[in-house]
Amino acid sequence: MFKPTEDSRIQISELMKPSHANFGGKIHGGYILSLMDNVAFACASKHSRSYCVTASVNKVNFLNPIEVGELVTMKASINYVGRSSMVVGIRVESENIRTGKKKHCNSSYFIMVAVDEDGKTVPVPGLILNSELDAKRFIKSIIRQESDTKRSADLENLYKNVDQHLDKLKNYKVKIDFK
């Protein structure tokens, strides 16, 4: 079974209140991450018709702060599917409701996994890519996945051979004092 990406797209908007803010009047990043996790769950569950769990989050950069009183909109779509996993791309924008000015606040990729009542993974439908943009998103997900796999292998190698890499520390504010 295959489903087009537009069948699973989700968009939510929420007004940012003082209770969501830190002492500087900016919205807590953790609150935004929680909203993003909720929209990723909704998008992945809609695609898979299964309960989904968050397996990982691939890089969240907070590009612009979100102010109290702004309207935050999150747009989510399925960018990639594996056997039981899905990459949900999320774009977060805020809007000043007085001026209409919009800001791109962050984009992130949540890796969600479909599971049954016992927590066992279940297969998810494939994707029908209806546009060049859908194809680009799918390909970017593959490239990110390959890059993550290579980075994990490189880091594992570092832990096995730390002595070979100690010279990399000379340009950093660190003192080596092994006992």
Which range (79-83, 95-99, 157-161) has the least confidence? Answer: 157-161
Residue 104 lies in a domain: yes
pTM of the model: 0.90
pLDDT of residue 128: 98
Say if residues 43 and 79 touch (Cβ distance below 8 Å): no
pLDDT grade, residue 146 (50/70/90)? very high
Q: What value does the mean pLDDT take over residues 114-118? A: 97
Task: Look up residue 79 and give its amino acid.
Answer: N
Give domain status of residue 174, yes or no.
no
pLDDT score recorded for residue 163: 83
Q: Is residue 15 one of the residues assigned to a domain?
A: yes
Domain assignment present for residue 170? The answer is no
Pairwise CA distance, residues 47 & 70, whole Å: 30
Task: Output the average pLDDT for the chain.
Answer: 95
Asked whether residue 71 is domain-assigned, the answer is: yes
Alpha helices, DSSP H, located in the chain: 29-48, 132-160
For 25-47, what is the mean pLDDT?
97
**Number of CB atoms found within 10 A of residue 140's CB:** 15
Q: Is the pLDDT of residue 126 over 90?
A: yes
> What per-residue string of b and e applies to 63-85 under the rule 16 or more CB within 10 Å gives b?
eeebeeebebbbbbbbbbbeebb
| Number of domains, the chain | 1
- Would you say residue 20 has pLDDT above 90? yes
* Percent over 90 (pLDDT), the chain: 85
CB contact at 8 A, 79 and 141:
yes
142: domain CATH number is: 3.10.129.10
- The domain of 92 spans 2-164
Partners of 93 in beta bridges: 73, 104
Task: Flag whether 177 is in a domain.
Answer: no
74 is a domain residue: yes
Question: What percent of the chain is modeled with pLDDT above 70?
Answer: 100
Task: Tell whether 173 is covered by a domain.
Answer: no
pLDDT value for 157: 84
Structure token pair of residue 123: 């297969």
Q: According to the model, what pLDDT value does residue 138 have?
A: 97
